[in-house]
């Protein structure tokens, strides 16, 4: 899963799940419908970034889908209760600073992927240039040998 390929879904779901005052967790179907996103892509993003999104043990009774929440918001639960909270449970929305930390992380990871892609392109270009140089050197050597044998 690449951050850079999914940045639109990441931003939309982080913003929604981090700030919504009623829903702190949603099923992919409900969130996709509300945000007009592709449900399968959204589910893939939720499952592909488990460090950002928490998959609930509970499922929607109608659809059988799991609920997903932001790990950062889930971590704000109060008290010692470690049971899987209800979808409508009140868990404080993320403050702007905490939300920004999550968004900055996603941006940095996408930038890192872009750097790695650039480095890979540079490596491929260098390899091509080296192959061409070796090929030219071999052809030059062969031509020199042929020229030397023709003279004698």
Q: What is the pLDDT of residues 35-76, one digit of tens each?
A: 999 999 999 999 999 999 999 988 988 999 999 999 999 888
Dist. CA 135–CA 72, nearest whole Å: 55
- Assigned CATH topology for domain 7-114: Arc Repressor Mutant, subunit A (1.10.10)
Residue 88 predicted with pLDDT over 60: no
Helices (H), the chain: 7-19, 28-35, 39-48, 71-74, 96-151
Contacts of 31 (CB under 8 A, 6+ apart): 13, 16, 17, 37, 42, 68
- pTM (predicted TM-score): 0.74
Dist. CA 2–CA 23, nearest whole Å: 27
**pLDDT above 90 coverage of the chain, percent:** 55
Which strand ranges, in their side-by-side order, compose the sheet holding 66-70?
25-26, 66-70, 53-59
Residue 120 vs residue 106, higher pLDDT: 106
């Amino acid at each position: 899963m690449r951050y850079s390929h999914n940045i639109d879904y990441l931003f939309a779901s982080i913003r929604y799940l981090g700030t919504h005052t009623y829903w702190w967790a949603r099923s992919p179907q409900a969130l996709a419908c509300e945000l007009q996103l592709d449900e399968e892509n959204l589910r893939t993003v939720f499952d592909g970034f488990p460090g950002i999104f928490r998959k609930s043990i509970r499922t929607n009774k109608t659809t059988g889908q799991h609920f997903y929440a932001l790990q950062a918001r889930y971590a704000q639960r109060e008290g010692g209760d470690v049971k899987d909270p209800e979808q409508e449970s009140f868990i404080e929305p993320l403050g702007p600073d905490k939300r920004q930390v999550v968004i900055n992380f996603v941006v940095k990871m996408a930038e890192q992927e872009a750097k790695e892609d650039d480095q890979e392109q540079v490596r491929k270009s260098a390899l091509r240039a080296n192959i061409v140089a070796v090929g030219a050197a071999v052809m030059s050597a062969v031509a020199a040998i042929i020229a030397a044998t023709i003279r004698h």
